[in-house]
Amino acid sequence: MIGIIDYGAGNLHSVEKAVIKLDFPTKIIAEPRDFTGIDKIIFPGVGNARKTMEMIRFHGLDDKITEAIKAGIPFLGICLGMQLLMEYSKENDADCLSIFEGAVYPFQKSIKVPHMGWNEVHQKRQHPIFRNIPNKSDFYFVHSFYVKPNDESDAIGITDYGQDFCSVIAKDNVIGVQFHPEKSAEAGLTILENFCGNF
């Protein structure tokens, strides 16, 4: 069962539809008791870092997310869901989930934001999430902030947008993607299939 976190503001329905299209059963996680019977978790994210963390804490989801990750349940963060895996975000000075050491930063002022549209992901190393996906495949991005992990080996995918930034992060049972796989055509569906079925 693929649990999809609902904190009241995400694009969870497009992610849910994509996962169902791949023939994986889903369950919406909106409160702590919903974490039962879950094999893997997807955290879709759209919105403001501080507000989203407030919503997660208000619904009591933060501790359950951390517990699930520590228990070894595979976890995929998408866009803001990836950023909130870091310790801190400079988007409204938000304390995040601290799954990865590092922080979230705004793009340089000279770069047009948001970074919106298709862009390449350079695979720094092999990983199950990249199975059957050619290096430098295009994915769809919409974001104004990017993650910078303290341990550069956690960054397994890099994208160039005026600067190189981490677009895929991975450690143990946790993966984060800055792009939206549910909006990234065949390559995006392959990412979701790799996570739901092979990771």
pLDDT tens digits along 21-43: 999 999 999 999 999 999 999 99
Specify the pLDDT at position 9: 66
Domain range for 111 is 2-198
- Give me 40's structure tokens: 């893997």
Torsion of CA 148, 98, 184, 4, to 10 degrees: 180
Largest separation between any pair of C-alpha atoms in the chain: 47
The domain total for the chain is: 1
Active-site residues, by number, are 79, 180, 182
Q: What is the pLDDT along the chain (199 residues), one digit of tens a residue?
A: 999 999 876 678 899 999 999 999 999 999 999 999 999 999 998 888 999 999 999 999 999 999 999 999 999 999 999 999 999 999 989 999 999 999 999 998 888 999 999 999 999 999 999 999 999 999 999 999 999 999 999 999 999 999 999 999 999 999 999 999 999 999 999 999 999 997 7
pLDDT tens column, 3-15: 999 987 667 889 9
Q: What is the CATH number of the domain that holds 186?
A: 3.40.50.880
What does DSSP say about strands 145-149 and 115-123: parallel, antiparallel, or unpaired?
unpaired
Which contacts (CB < 8 Å, 24+ apart) does range 119-124 have?
119/159, 119/160, 119/161, 119/167, 119/179, 120/159, 120/160, 121/157, 121/158, 121/159, 121/167, 121/168, 121/179, 122/157, 122/158, 122/159, 122/160, 123/156, 123/157, 123/168, 124/155, 124/156, 124/157, 124/158
pTM (predicted TM-score): 0.96
